[in-house]
Structure 1
Amino acid sequence: MAQHWIATTAGAPEAWTFEEYDVAEPAEGEVTIRVHAAGVNPADAKHVAAPRAGLEFPVPIGYEISGEITAIGPRTRIGSGDAEIGDEVVAFRIYGGYATDIAVPAAKVFAKPTTLTHPEAANLLLAGTTAAEMLSVVGAAPGETILLHGASGAVGVSVLQQAHLRGIRVIGTASEERFAEIRRFGGIPVRYGVGLLDRVRQAAGAPLSAALDAVGTDEAIDTSLELVADPRRIFTIAAFGRASEAGILAIAGSMPASATFRDEVRGELTALAQNGDLVVPVARTYPLDQAPEAHRFLATGHPGGKIALIP
């Protein structure tokens, strides 16, 4: 029998339940996947942390996985085309990925890049599609210099890689311990903290065209507003209150336009990974039954890479 994690009520991961469940045979338009790795993201816990309108419990946990197809519904093709039982795949924007086996909509399933391990592939698309959208909404173009707050985090590392491929120069904020990671992916690192404004100016050596914020601090927003002339080219995924008052962009994956964009870019990102142009640093893996422990490590704020759960 399969196993999965569910939230039976709002609360922290320690309140989740790891239980056995029956996986239904896939209907038309569905496939069943044996999970080899589940990506661990802050959104997994945030989604069920507190009661809100439209959230009905129990809620299965986990948005992205990597694994192999074990069953295919009738007249069904996956998002990247034809598929057969045994094919290795990734699935993103699903519900219940913290599982041993799961039936999911086939449109959300793509061939797994052979260049990535299962833990890497299971963490490719949530961070990758977020990064792609950040670059898109500010209209970052080849030859421009942009500022990226939180450059050494999962989303930041994907932004660095995608920007580098497009010829976009990135000034990335981080702690000094993470400078090598930023340089590895083509960014120019600067230390956050007192004096950030002057350090960014010196590193840029030219006007900044746009700013992307993945940390949500007042320092990040204030620095961006000071250095980028057009507030419509400042974007945050973390400081929604400041975004509203400052007139800057803020988009989340739950918003319809954002969801549409992220769905459309999945194939492009898996192709980049297949070509070796997009990698996913993984810091640590945990057994599937240790999901709360994985989230405690993630909550330290500096995991140094992605985390995966292994059934």
Structure 2
Amino acid sequence: MVEKRIRNMEEFATVSGISRPTLSKYFHDPGSVRATTRERIESALEQYDYRPNIFAINQNRKLTKTIGILVPYLSDPFFAEMVRLIERLCIDAGYWPVVFSAHGETELENNALATLESLRPAGALIAPLGRSSDFEVVERFTEEVPTVVFDSNLEVGKAFVGNDNVQSIGLIVDYLCRTGEPPCFFEMPPVNPNANRRRDTYVQSMERLGHQPQVVSVRGGDWDFERIGLDEGMRLISERALPSDTILCSNDRLAIGLIAAAYQKGLRVGHGPGCALRIAGHDDHPWAQFSCPPLTTVAQDYRAVAERSVEILFKLIDGEDLGEERQMHYFQGRLVLRASA
């Protein structure tokens, strides 16, 4: 027994070290949590002499049919497509999605999470900013709201769903090395963990194939990827600073900007006679097939990522126990061959 009286569930969660969602599940149905977790809760109840307000618990359980969706930048074609798929899946299941964009800014991501939590959603699907996220804010949100993380693997929430960057980058590096000069890797300062993983996998893949990795890191640090690809591409071409005639870009948006730079500098992009450069990307975002020339890339499985994310979230909302370990779901990419490489 302790002297200080615990007044509410938040205080009990803090002193016991057990998350609020887990406590809520226990008080709704003790059999819904693991036996070891149930023992911890019941031991803490005895230690702190805490008896919850059952009426308040029941009121809190009257959640809306709202599903929150948060992405770093809604104008990014990749996230726009992911949101479109997720929205449709939620609507078809009888939920109403509410979409927030962080616009690439930490403060706006924090504000969006606070606003979303105030709506008392049934659950949330979030793609965090990543490197610039306020980890404690995001983590606290995921402890209060059933949450699945997609695309950017910040270590929060009960599950992550995304692309297998190791497989997809290895796939396109193998192709480019087989069919022409080994590629250099064109990147800007990383905005999320995917960029780091893609660069590291490029280096490992080149070394595995017996080639010297050549990473070209350019200036820029916001989400205006096409502009960065254009401006820095023109500079590198003018300075004859590209170490290879084959360039693998960290993402499609950088690659489209680089293709535009080559055009403005009078260089033909493609695979064949008269072509000065081969350019490839990653993601197969909705505009990749309409660049000139159309972009060779690796396609993420947008639909599979969206469907699995929503499937797991509905399990969390229904109170299904996913286990103590955070779930990790990766989907493989698919090589898409077009005229640029």
Q: TM-score range, shorter-chain basis? A: 0.3 to 0.5
Q: Which structure: larger Rg?
A: 2
- TM-score (normalised: structure 2): 0.36
**Which has the larger share of strand?**
1
Task: Identify the structure with bigger relative contact order (alpha carbons < 8 Å, sequence gap 6+).
Answer: 1
